[in-house]
C-alpha cells in the first residue's frame, strides 16, 4: 500500500506546482463579473469571472481595490490582471487580481454612466455648488505633468495675458496605475497651500483610455471637497470626463483654461482708455449745457442785475471743471502706477532675472543645492543665463573657516 499524505500536504503540493507555473503567475483574464461583493469590514472584493463555458473565483485585496477608477458591477465585462493559484485552506482554485478595468467601449461607458448617476444623486454636479473665479488671481495652482505640453501652454498664455499672476505647479502623473493617487494628492496639496486662489487640473489630448483616469471617483471627490475654485481642462473640446462635471468651471483645452483664469492686459488698458474718454465727454456735455443756460439768462433784460452773481457761479463752475479734470487724471495715474508696480514686482520675483546679472544657480539632479550642503567629489551643474556647465566640487570653504584664515 502506498504511503498516504494529508489533505494539507496535498493542497500545499498543488499550490507550489501552480505557483511555479510561469504562465499562471502573470495572467490577464477576460470575463463577465458575477456574484460581486465588497466586504464591508476588510474592503476586499470577492467575485466570479465567467464566460459561456466556465467560471473561476476571484479576489482583489483592499490595497489594489482602492486603485480602481470605476465601480465594478455584475454583468460587466472586465479584464483582470493577476495570478492564478490555489487557496490552500479550502482547496479552491482562484484568481488573485492586482488590477482590473472595463473591457470594450460598452463596459467603459456603463462604468461612466453608473458613476455619473451616483455622483449626480449626491448633488456633486449641482449648479449652486459652482463658485465664480476671482477676476484677477495673484496665484494659480496647476495640477499636471511637469513635462507635458499642457504645462507649457498654461505658462505661455498666462505670461502673455497677465504676467503678474504667479503659477504654482503640483507635478503629477496623468496616466498609469499611480495617476489617480498622484492627482488626488496634488489637488489636496494645493488646496492646503494658502497661495493659490484657483486650482487648475489639466492635461493634453489623448485616447479615451489615456483620459479615463479623470473619470475616477476618488479624483471627483477630491475636486468636490476642494475649498478653492477648481477648473478642469482635460484633453480636447470633444473629451468629457467626470471631473468636468464636478469642477466649478470646465475649459475645452489647457490654453482656454488659462485664458479663463486671468484677464487680458490689453483689454484692461483699452477699458481704462474708454473710461477716460467717456469721462471727458460727459464733462464737456455738462459744461456746454451750463454755458447755454447762462447765455439764455444773460440775454434777458430781467437778469442784468444778476450778472455778477452769475459770473461768480461761472467761476465756481470753472473751478469744479478743473477739480474734476485733476481727479480724473489722478485716477488714471494711480491705475497706471498700479500696473507698473505689479509688473515690477513680478519681475523682481523672477528667480531667473538674477542670472542675467552674471549669477548662477547650483543644482544636483532636479534640486537646487545650497553651497553649504556640498562636499568634495560631488558633481553639480551651474546654470547661467545663456549656458550651463557640469562641474566637480574640489573644495568647500565655509564662512567660519575663511574668517579664521583671514585672522592674523
Report DSSP letters for 76-92, one per residue. Answer: -EEEEEEEEEEETTTTE
Closest CA to 223 of 200, 252, 251: 200
Cell of 233: 481642462
pLDDT of the chain, 408 residues: tens digit per residue: 568 889 999 999 999 999 888 889 888 899 989 999 998 888 899 999 998 889 999 999 998 888 887 888 888 888 898 999 999 999 999 999 998 888 876 667 777 888 898 999 999 999 999 999 999 999 999 999 999 999 999 999 999 999 999 999 999 999 877 899 999 999 999 999 999 999 999 998 877 777 888 999 999 999 999 999 999 999 887 878 999 999 999 999 999 999 999 999 999 889 888 999 899 889 989 888 888 877 776 666 555 667 777 888 888 888 888 888 888 888 888 888 888 888 777 777 776 777 777 788 888 877 888 888 888 888 989 888 788 888 998 888 877 655 555 555
In contact, 257 and 141? CB cutoff 8 Å: no
Q: What angle do CA 394, 395, 397 make, to 5 degrees?
A: 160
Phi, psi of 234, rounded to the nearest 5 degrees: -115, 120
Quote the CA–CA distance of 289 and 281 in Å, as a whole number. 12
Quote the CA–CA distance of 25 and 310 in Å, as a whole number. 104
pTM of the model: 0.52
Phi, psi of 46, rounded to the nearest 5 degrees: -125, 140
Q: How far is CA 186 from CA 138, 168, 241, in A?
A: 19, 11, 18
Quote the CA–CA distance of 372 and 397 in Å, as a whole number. 8
* pLDDT of 208: 77
* pLDDT of 92: 92
* pLDDT of 214: 93
Quote the CA–CA distance of 91 and 99 in Å, as a whole number. 24
User: What's the gap between Cα 319 and its chain centre?
Assistant: 54
* pLDDT of 105: 60
Closest CA to 245 of 357, 345, 124: 124
The CATH classification of domain 127-261, taken from the options 3.40.50.10550, 3.40.430.10, 1.10.3720.10, 3.90.76.10? 3.40.50.10550
Quote the CA–CA distance of 175 and 216 in Å, as a whole number. 12
Query: Which secondary-structure segment (H or E) carries 230?
Result: strand 230-234
In contact, 230 and 223? CB cutoff 8 Å: yes
**Residue 210: CB partners within 8 Å, gap ≥ 6?**
175
* pLDDT of 205: 82
Quote the CA–CA distance of 323 and 85 in Å, as a whole number. 90
- DSSP 3-state of 231: strand
Phi, psi of 224, rounded to the nearest 5 degrees: -65, -35
Cell of 308: 455778477
Quote the CA–CA distance of 42 and 309 in Å, as a whole number. 94
CATH topology of domain 7-104: OB fold (Dihydrolipoamide Acetyltransferase, E2P) (2.40.50)
- DSSP 3-state of 224: helix
Helices (H), 126-233: 149-161, 179-192, 208-211, 217-225
Closest CA to 153 of 232, 250, 254, 252: 254
Cell of 39: 466586504
Cβ of 206: how many Cβ atoms within 10 Å? 15
Q: Which residue pairs, CB below 8 angstroms and at least 24 apart, start in 81-85?
A: 81/27, 81/28, 82/27, 82/29, 82/58, 83/24, 83/25, 83/26, 83/27, 84/18, 84/24, 84/27, 84/29, 84/56, 85/15, 85/18, 85/19, 85/24
Closest CA to 269 of 162, 347, 140: 162
Residue 197, strand partner residues: none
| Nearest 10 degrees: Cα torsion 322, 325, 329, 330 | 60
Amino acid at each position: 500500500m502506498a504511503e498516504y499524505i494529508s489533505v494539507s500536504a496535498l493542497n500545499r503540493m498543488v499550490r507550489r506546482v501552480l505557483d511555479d507555473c510561469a504562465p499562471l503567475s502573470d495572467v490577464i483574464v477576460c470575463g463577465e463579473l458575477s456574484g460581486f461583493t465588497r466586504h464591508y469590514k476588510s474592503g476586499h472584493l470577492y467575485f466570479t469571472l465567467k464566460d459561456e463555458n466556465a467560471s473561476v473565483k476571484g479576489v482583489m485585496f483592499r490595497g489594489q481595490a482602492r486603485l480602481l477608477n470605476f465601480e465594478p458591477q455584475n454583468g460587466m465585462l472586465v479584464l483582470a490582471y493577476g495570478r492564478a493559484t490555489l487557496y490552500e485552506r479550502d482547496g479552491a482554485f482562484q484568481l488573485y487580481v492586482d488590477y482590473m478595468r472595463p473591457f470594450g467601449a460598452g463596459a467603459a461607458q456603463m462604468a461612466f454612466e453608473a458613476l455619473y448617476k451616483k455622483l449626480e444623486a449626491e448633488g456633486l454636479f449641482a449648479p449652486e455648488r459652482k463658485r465664480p473665479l476671482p477676476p484677477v488671481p495673484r496665484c494659480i495652482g496647476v495640477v499636471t505633468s511637469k513635462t507635458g505640453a499642457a504645462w507649457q501652454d498654461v505658462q505661455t498664455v498666462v505670461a502673455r495675458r497677465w504676467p503678474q499672476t504667479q503659477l504654482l505647479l503640483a507635478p503629477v502623473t496623468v496616466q498609469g496605475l499611480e495617476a489617480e493617487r498622484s492627482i488626488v494628492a496634488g489637488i489636496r496639496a494645493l488646496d492646503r497651500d494658502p497661495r493659490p486662489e484657483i486650482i487648475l487640473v489639466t492635461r493634453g489630448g489623448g485616447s479615451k483610455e489615456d483620459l479615463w483616469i479623470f473619470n475616477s471617483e476618488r479624483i471627483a471627490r477630491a475636486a468636490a471637497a476642494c475649498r478653492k475654485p477648481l477648473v478642469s481642462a482635460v484633453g480636447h473640446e470633444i473629451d468629457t470626463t467626470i471631473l468636468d462635471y464636478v469642477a466649478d468651471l470646465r475649459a475645452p483645452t489647457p490654453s482656454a483654461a488659462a485664458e479663463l483664469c486671468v484677464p487680458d492686459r490689453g483689454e484692461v488698458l483699452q477699458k481704462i482708455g474708454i473710461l477716460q474718454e467717456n469721462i471727458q465727454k460727459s464733462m464737456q456735455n455738462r459744461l456746454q449745457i451750463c454755458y447755454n443756460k447762462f447765455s439764455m439768462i444773460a440775454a434777458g433784460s430781467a437778469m442784468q442785475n444778476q450778472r455778477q452773481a452769475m459770473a461768480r457761479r461761472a467761476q465756481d463752475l470753472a473751478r469744479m471743471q478743473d477739480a474734476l479734470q485733476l481727479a480724473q487724471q489722478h485716477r488714471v495715474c494711480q491705475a497706471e502706477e498700479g500696473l507698473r508696480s505689479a509688473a515690477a514686482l513680478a519681475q523682481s520675483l523672477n528667480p531667473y532675472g538674477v542670472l542675467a546679472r552674471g549669477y548662477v544657480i547650483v543644482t544636483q539632479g532636479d534640486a537646487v543645492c545650497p553651497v553649504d550642503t556640498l562636499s568634495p567629489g560631488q558633481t553639480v551643474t551651474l546654470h547661467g543665463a545663456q549656458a550651463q556647465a557640469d562641474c566637480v566640487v574640489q573644495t568647500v570653504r565655509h564662512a567660519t573657516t575663511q574668517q579664521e584664515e583671514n585672522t592674523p
